[in-house]
Amino acid sequence: MTNPLGSEITIGGIRLKSNVLMAPLAGYTCFPFRLMVERLGAGSAYTEMVSADALKYNNRATTQLLYTDNREKLKCVQLLGSIPTVFERAAKSELLAPFQIIDINMGCPVPQVVKACEGVALMEDLPKASKIIEACKRSGKVVSVKCRIGMNPEKIVIEEFARMCENSGADMITVHGRTRSMMYEGEPLYDYIRIAKNAVKIPVFANGGIDSKEKAEMAMAKTGADGVMLARFGFERPLLFAELTNRPTTDTKYTLIMEQLDIASECFDELFALTYIKKLSSYFMKKLPGTKRYKQELYKCGSVAQVREVLGWIFGGEGKIIADMFP
């Protein structure tokens, strides 16, 4: 194993406090969430996926996606697109000036992204993918790439793709150990992450299906990866970051959600704060028995004050069984 789970690691000259990272998740990894997982031990946390082309409009939605301030020590943004010149313009733009690391999305498998020749579709066009990496590197920022192992079992190209990323100047690769055809189902194919790791000298991170310390350690052992990246399980169970990095914490789901509510209310309008907190709270209660009525009460709330009251009831009052069962 190159680096023990939870250890510090250097990416392109930037020192990360741990090798346990949070993946970008569309609709979820907003500023408050990134602050939370950073505090719990994440070495980095990326913004939600941002269209490189959409940056030119500088609209409200893009501004919300890119919101950050000095509380976020390491600022990482993920870009989606397919045109090298658009990536270069975005990477050099004032909107991305605060961000030290740019991650290029070459792994998103959803149909509308693939049809636009973006995301994982770029794994079928290595010359274009290379030009995109080189374009982002001309910004002078650290550049990482998030990818899959290929489009389908007949088109697994991760070894060649990893070498292309390194030769084009990428400072790091995160490999989701599934093909595009697998989407988010099935056991990740860790052997192919190992192939990517053995093909290059830059750090390689393992991603896919990591929902516990045991699974993280297994992924590291099977792949030889330099670290792991959590995705939906990091959102469902953010305290997992503290567990994986051996950081003591007295936080519970209740204290975390109330902290998130405070930060979201401070940084965004009430509608955004309400939408985000309802989603996060629902994830915290995911798969727990008897929570349907709690979620129904939560989604009836029309103000931050009402949400605060209902969350207190769910996690601290009558519904305290939830916090007791899954702290």
Q: Is the CB of residue 51 less than 8 Å from the CB of residue 26?
A: no
- Quote the CA–CA distance of 1 and 82 in Å, as a whole number: 35
Q: Strands, DSSP E only, in the chain?
A: 9-11, 14-16, 20-22, 46-51, 76-80, 101-106, 142-147, 172-176, 204-207, 227-230
CA-based nearest residue to 245, from 44, 70, 1:
44
147 assigned to active site: no
CA-based nearest residue to 123, from 157, 79, 153:
157
Catalytic residue among 30, 108, 136, 147, which?
108
**Who contacts 295 (Cβ-Cβ below 8 Å, separation ≥6)?**
281, 282, 285
- Quote the CA–CA distance of 84 and 97 in Å, as a whole number: 19
Q: Which residue has the tokens 């991760």?
A: 158
Q: Is the CB of residue 221 less than 8 Å from the CB of residue 209?
A: no
What is the maximal distance between C-alpha atoms in the chain? Answer: 58
Q: Is the CB of residue 240 less than 8 Å from the CB of residue 230?
A: yes
Amino acid at 37: V
Q: Crossing angle for the helix pair 253-267 and 304-316, nearest 10 degrees? A: 170
- Quote the CA–CA distance of 65 and 16 in Å, as a whole number: 22
Q: Is the CB of residue 144 less than 8 Å from the CB of residue 172?
A: yes
Catalytic residues: 108
